[in-house]
Chains A and B, each alone.
Chain A
């Protein structure tokens, strides 16, 4: 369990980093916290020729509120969010998610940009941020583009990143005062990856609901207009109206054949709904 040989660079500014990635033409890998890439290197599951360590890029460490949204640099760590060092527009929703990611040692080093880029279906941010309606901005030498988190994750361990591109920031919209947030997951043990995640952002006042079923084998199921899960409309009494059959059908449609697995996912989602609060 030792990595295959690779070259290592630690650029001091984003442009240099992007140039290195471009020059690496696909055989370069970015490392930030290294909490996923480290083990994958040691297991030789990835064997890049070049590792670009971006942990020295000050540009990616900022966290600021701008124009009604929170812009988190890709290098903000889970612990920054857990400890309240990063600004927040979600009224604690992100802080609660961060506090339950893996173990503290992982949270100290693991970054929000790294977690999204790695696109592990069982990780927390790809589900939580999709439910919160977040977007990511991606930068390369050619410029910047932005997209919703649910579009960014295209498959298990597969993101929309092009060669030479990097997640620059996460943009999280301000959670309205009337929006209820619920997040539940089931893990075999403390700190393990979840085997079921349910994330809900339900705003009865606006009659809107975003629902995410995560930790399935592929991309999370993201329902941005989730009225169908509550009998066709989102109202103040949405909790008793939650329809497990619709959720089960969504999972079946996503290719989950195992009834027990679907039942656990639906139960976790139901818990997120029942525990959702303003």
Chain B
């Protein structure tokens, strides 16, 4: 790997010399536990009397339920919708005009609308026995025509997923800024572009252990969840309980990626069952359930036209985007967040005078589409960046040049783009220039001209995106979904021995927040990172939060921790001044001590005095104490905009369809990095997922709505040998709106790779007349396209 060439901004933080504060490349504290196999995940939880659940799931995509037959010997161990007295279906309604409401029954009633939909819940001492019972239950189903193709589903006369809707469209949106201004442009390129349906595939699947405490009158739900407070609200709504009667504990979580931000019907079912039965119950998602029934994402289709001048200047974009939303609107993000977002984020960091985008969120007989890392951005980046390469080809320009001509420039910051997205800061052209230089575009072009000895073709591709992160109330109130983030809260408490406890409502499932939030607190209070404990993942122990999603945790929870620690520090400073017998105005908090002209007193001594020797405090001491909860919002809550330019060099074998990534460069600007090591990890992980989107991952369906990749033998994920050692370069342009100038970076790594890799493959194959506009780019798709191009050439000749 090359040396990092990113230039740190010239800012100094008070803790700069301690090596533990903001900007320190600290190894993750939690790895001591996680890397030694000492993590505690849902499946590790053992409770006395615990029994296991297996579900009877629909084998058909669309059918009317005529009967559910349970053998006599298993009555009492099998539960169906008829048993679920008083349980409401999951409703995730969007307030956007025209949104059609779906009700997702937690156990199917009337119809089943996707393969894998829950029909009955089977209880036994072990999962294997529960599966035996599930296998003994027979379903009498009247099969209905499956709605399996989102484009056909939009046509009149299609079978209907929700009969009373009259069509299959959850929501249609329209956005336009005078597209007519673009129509006369000399370059006009139109294509259809699509991204496959994928599965999120965290290492750990979902899992639930539910139990009820009669003394506390409280349901405790252990769940692998990113957003425990939101899960609690959703559960309370479905179960008809008070929120205080529910405690959601999310222990160690092995990757979320959006899959674990969703309220599951399984969570509702098990909650009901443990209260009914009086003993703990458990369901651990297996990989087949994960693939088939609960974690689909990404399926987009674009009809897109890009208008440009001969010099590559963008004149406008006209797009119709369709997203396959699946059968139900999932809680809390709804069925339309993905498609409707396409319209607002498609223009990305590019300037253009005209724009039109129409979007459709379409219901099909597939499992609900969930927001996967990058959410709509991966599809949008794929569509737009592939189109810009076609514009470049048409204009006879280098693809990088077309980007540089149209990217927002640093002197235009802050910048409101054509969809009124507010870009806080950054130098996008510089990121692109650095990526082009690092990949050595000139050398690749020279090498391409000479051809490859082994018959493979070299290609180089670039892409760039922006990632809106930590967008808050002003953005989400417009969506009208069940969850709108407001002020983020954190609690900070000095312990009697001078340690620091931080309580946050976000969760950490790979993000390293037990380390990075401690670094933020250290920056303010100077407490040794080793003495800071982060408490998260438990509604009973943490302040309310919408949780971890949308790359928001460092901006929001980091900001809240900083705010709470400042207030805590101020209280400690005032007590310290008393102990030093100084005027409070004359003492400062520095490196974990309150210092005055004649001496200093440590936070540890202050805490000890406050808790253990209050007799040493003067009578007029501030009674507020050493525990505070504070709320935080950035100065502007329209989101931080981080970004990265990606560049890939690939070798493509046109006869085998094999693609090898030879080199990969990422120039990333995530604002001020709290921990660059953690950021690197986030980017590498995102890149791996992006490579999956680009080349491997696909959940195909047949015409009866059957998912065809039901094991990891068919659903291919990239492994160690498929992920190259990417070269990273960081720029650090602070956000003017956040604490320390941080920006959210959690998702970016997964956004740009499909576009960069597809552009590289197309660059390699363009001389053969080949163009691939669909992810993943599989060997079969490459070879089929090569053969089609050869046939076209023959018939032309």
Cβ-defined contact, B128 with A186, below 8 A: no
Contact of B132 (CB < 8 Å), options: A4, A39, A189: A4
Q: Do the beta carbons of A1 and B287 come within 8 Å of each other?
A: yes
Q: B77 an interface residue at 8 Å Cβ cutoff?
A: no
Size class of A's contact patch? Answer: 20 to 34
B713 close to A (CB within 8 Å): yes
Smallest CB gap from A266: residue in B: B655
CB distance B713 to A259 under 8 Å? no
B127 touches A2 (CB 8 A): yes
8 A–B contacts, CB within 8 A, in A order: A1-B287, A2-B127, A43-B711, A188-B696, A258-B780, A263-B655, A264-B783, A267-B656
In the complex, the answer to whether B287 meets A259 with C-beta atoms within 8 Å is no
Is B288 a contact of A43 with CB atoms below 8 Å? yes
- Known: A192-B716, A258-B780, A264-B783; 5 extra A-B contacts, CB below 8 A, are A4-B132, A43-B288, A189-B721, A191-B719, A259-B784
Q: For the complex, is B497 an interface residue (Cβ under 8 Å from A)?
A: no
Listed from nearest, the 9 A-B pairs whose CB atoms lie closest are: A2-B128, A267-B655, A260-B784, A190-B721, A260-B783, A1-B286, A2-B131, A186-B656, A189-B722
Q: How far is the CA of A4 from the CA of B287 in the complex (A)?
A: 17
A residues less than 8 Å from B657 (CB atoms): 260, 264
Contact B711 A263 (CB under 8 A): no
**Main SS of chain B's interface residues?**
helix
**B47 adjacent to chain A (CB < 8 Å):** no
Residues of A within 8 A of B (CB): 1-5, 39, 43-44, 186, 188-193, 195-196, 258-261, 263-264, 267-268, 270-271
Q: B779 at interface (Cβ–Cβ under 8 A)?
A: yes
Q: With A and B bound together, what is the CA distance between A192 and B712 in angstroms?
A: 10
Chain B residues, Cβ within 8 Å of A196: 656
Q: Are A260 and B128 in contact (CB under 8 A)?
A: no
B residues 588-605 touching A (CB-CB < 8 Å): none
Which of A1, A5, A192, A260 neighbours the largest number of chain B CB atoms within 10 Å of its CB?
A260
A264 engages B787 (CB within 8 Å):
no
User: In the complex, which residues of chain B have a beta carbon less than 8 angstroms from the beta carbon of A270?
Assistant: 655
> A191 — which chain B residues lie within 8 A by C-beta?
719
Docked Cα-Cα span, A258 to B780, in Å, equals 10
The B653-668 residues at the A interface (CB cut-off 8 A) are: 655-658
Give chain B nearest CB distance to A245 CB in angstroms. 15
- A131 CB, nearest partner CB in chain B, Å: 20
State the Cβ distance, B106 to closest chain A Cβ, in Å.
22
Q: Measured between alpha carbons, how far is A144 from B597 in the docked complex, in Å?
A: 98
Q: Are B779 and A1 in contact (CB under 8 A)?
A: no
Given A1-B286, A261-B780, answer yes or no on A189-B128 (Cβ-Cβ < 8 Å).
no
- Residues of chain B contacted by A39 (CB below 8 angstroms): 711
Cα A189 to Cα B779 in complex, Å, equals 11
Residues from chain A with Cβ under 8 Å of B783 in the complex: 260, 263-264
Chain A CB within 8 A of B135 CB: yes
Q: Specify the chain A residue showing the minimal Cβ separation from B126.
A: A2
Expressed in whole angstroms, the Cα–Cα distance for A237 and B718 within the complex equals 40
Distance between B433 CB and nearest chain A CB, rounded to angstroms = 33
Once the chains are docked, how many angstroms separate the CA of A96 from the CA of B729?
40
- Residues of chain A with a CB closer than 8 A to B696's CB: 188-189
In the bound complex, residues from chain A placing their C-beta under 8 Å from that of B722 are 189-190
Which residues of the partner chain B approach A3 to less than 8 Å between Cβ atoms? Answer: 128
Task: Say which residue of A1, A190, A267, A271 sits within 8 Å of B719 (CB atoms).
Answer: A190
Complex CA distance for A188 and B709, rounded to whole angstroms:
14
Say how far B171's CB is from chain A's closest CB, in angstroms. Answer: 36
Q: Is the CB of B288 within 8 A of A188?
A: no
Shortest C-beta distance, B383 to chain A (Å), equals 25
User: Distance in Å from the Cβ of B442 to the closest Cβ of chain A?
Assistant: 32
Q: In the complex, which of the residues B287, B288, B716 contacts A189, with contact meaning CB atoms closer than 8 Å?
A: B716
Complex-state Cα separation, A9 to B379, whole angstroms: 53
Alpha-carbon separation in the docked complex, A267 to B653 (Å): 10
